[in-house]
Amino acid sequence: MFEKLTSKFFGLDDEGWMRHANPWSGWMRVPCLVLLVAAFWSRVWLGWYSAIPIAAILLWTYFSPRIFPKPKSTQNWASKAVLGSNAPSNHVHLQRRQRDGKAAFAKFSH
């Protein structure tokens, strides 16, 4: 359920996941959590100005899967990790398609 909501929020269809599987996209998102925590932590010194790095990191997290092209190959660690994170939602989708396909086949086989 959570995977479906995040995919819907980020607008990642199959094309979006392939673009996100670009190693540059994956590696550029690795420091986001640390930077986000540092930005929240810096609110003590920066006050409301800490909203600037927070907004920048959140925008980068949202737009990162969209700005990189599809990878030439997915035979690398970063691409496999990104595509593997999509596997649970793909598994449910494939099960549903398989079930629907069996039902359609049963309907026409009689």
pLDDT, tens digit (0-9, with 9 covering 90-100), for 26-61: 888 889 999 999 999 998 888 999 999 999 999 998
CB 40 within 8 A of CB 50: yes
CB 75 within 8 A of CB 83: no
3-state secondary structure of 80: helix
What secondary structure letter does DSSP report for 74?
-
**pLDDT tens digit string along 69-80?**
888 887 888 778
d(CA 59, CA 56): 5
